[in-house]
Amino acid sequence: MSLWIKICGLTTDEGVAAAIGGGADAIGFVFAPSQRKVTAQQANELVRHVSGGITRVAVMQHPSQQQVDEVLSVFRPDALQTDAEDLAVLRLPAWLRLIPVLRAGRTLPQPLPGRILFEGPVSGAGQVADWSAAAELARRAELILAGGLNADNVGDAVHTVGPFGVDVSSGVEREAGVKDALQIRNFIAAARAAAASRERAPRLNTVGDY
């Protein structure tokens, strides 16, 4: 299965174009307090030329129902990403794909959702997540790894965790909140190369091995 790659915290046409041109599967727009925060109207304008093959993700954190309703009405994302506990109290349409965020050190929801995003305590801070905990969760669900990733370490992350996907924001910026097209391309290339290498690696058959 091909590695799923999301470029998050996009704020400009150039960033969106670089993500799509580089081969990202998803693009994320932040509606939570952040240097990368956009309005629903701005996000809708940024995706005006985006084809249906790219997943458009609304990234929120502890939003009110009113905030969610406005984003869904104006921006019309394909998916909503927010902390897992938020999803239990929000009224959401059946067509909306959900990406529950789990954070290191917090109690896991039961049952564990089929697809999750795992990161550190604070979103968008460039803090590397606990890869050991992530690897354990990746054996139980389709795990999207976020937190502190960049072109230099994403290869190690893919080999260590074996995630379904990876998510990057600050790791592809030339300054806070401003994406860099070259860093985006390098990140995607490094992630894809690591995933391909991992797929080619021989699997040990422990049955009958000594």
**Phi-psi label, residue 126: left if phi above 0, alpha if psi -120 to 50, beta otherwise:** left
pLDDT per residue as tens digits for the range 6-48: 999 999 999 999 999 999 999 999 999 999 999 999 999 999 9
* Per-residue pLDDT at 126: 66
pTM for this predicted structure: 0.91
pLDDT per residue as tens digits for the range 179-195: 999 999 999 999 999 99
User: Could you tell me which of 125, 121, 187 has the C-alpha nearest to residue 158?
Assistant: 187
Name the least confident of 67-76, 126-135, 164-173: 126-135
CA distance 19 to 58: 16
User: Residue ranges of the domains in the chain?
Assistant: 4-200
Percent of the chain with pLDDT strictly greater than 90: 80
For the domain 4-200, what is the CATH code?
Answer: 3.20.20.70
